[in-house]
Amino acid sequence: MRTSPGITMVIDSGLPTGAFTDLITSHGHYIDLVKFGWGTALVTRDLDRKAGVLRDAAIGFYFGGTLFEHHLWTGRLDEYLHLVQRTGATHIEVSNGTIPLDQRGKAEHVRRLSQYLPVLSEVGYKDDDRSARLTPTQWVDAMREDLDAGAFMAVTEARESGRSGIARPDGHLRRDVLDAVIDNVDTARVMFEAPTKTLQVELINALGSDVNLGNVAAADVLGAETLRRGLRGDTLLRVATGSGDTERIPSGLPSGT
pLDDT tens-digit readout, 57-100: 999 999 999 999 999 999 999 999 999 999 999 999 999 999 99
The secondary structure of 63-78 as a DSSP string is E-HHHHHHHHHTT-HH
- pTM listed for this prediction: 0.91
pLDDT tens-digit readout, 181-219: 999 999 999 999 999 999 999 999 999 999 999 999 999
**Would you say residue 240 has pLDDT above 80?**
no
User: Are 215 and 191 within 8 A, CB to CB?
Assistant: no
**Would you say residue 136 has pLDDT above 80?**
yes
User: Are 214 and 35 within 8 A, CB to CB?
Assistant: yes
For residue 253, give every residue at least 6 positions away whose Cβ sits within 8 Å of its Cβ, in sequence order, or none: none
pLDDT of residue 248: 39
Domains, the chain, with CATH or none: 8-241 (3.20.20.70)
pLDDT of residue 57: 98
With bands split at pLDDT 50, 70 and 90, how would you rate the model's confidence at 242?
Answer: low
* Of residues 22, 17, 64, the one with CA closest to residue 41: 64
